[in-house]
Amino acid sequence: MPVDDSRARRALTDRRDELAALSDSSADARGIVELDQSSVGRLSRMDALQDQAMAQETERRRRGELMRIEAALARLDEGEYGYCIECGEEIAAKRLEIDPAVALCVRCAQGPAR
């Protein structure tokens, strides 16, 4: 079944916009944690540092997803969207529907046979 390029592009750009908005809204959480011992107890500082680390990791994952989205949009522009970047076989439409940024067919994503 052929892939609907306009639908895929819309899904990819919508997700890209959503990730950008989430990144903007969480910028403060990733910032420097003030360690003012007179106003914050030790456990509160530890919580703040842990929250910061979690926000930074979430942002790292967002950037990774954004890179996958940009690569998928480039494949759309080049007319290569929907084909595995490893073997060149067509990626199942259901797989693309679940994750429009996917770049590998199921076989290649599973890696070498064991």
pLDDT band at 13 (very low <50, low <70, confident <90, very high): very high
- Per-residue DSSP letters for 75-101? HHHHT-TTB-TTT-PBPPHHHHHH-TT
Residue 1: per-residue pLDDT: 47
Compute the residue count for the chain.
114
Entry pTM: 0.76
Do residues 93 and 3 lie in contact, with contact meaning Cβ atoms separated by under 8 Å? yes
The CATH code of domain 5-110 reads 1.20.120.910
Domain boundaries along the sequence of the chain: 5-110
Mean pLDDT for 97-113 is 91
- Taking alpha carbons only, the member of 111, 113, 114, 66 closest to residue 86 is 111
Least confident of 13-22, 42-51, 70-79: 42-51
What are the phi and psi torsion angles at 104 (to 5°)? -120, 145
pLDDT band at 28 (very low <50, low <70, confident <90, very high): low
Compare 75 and 36 and report the one with higher pLDDT.
Answer: 75
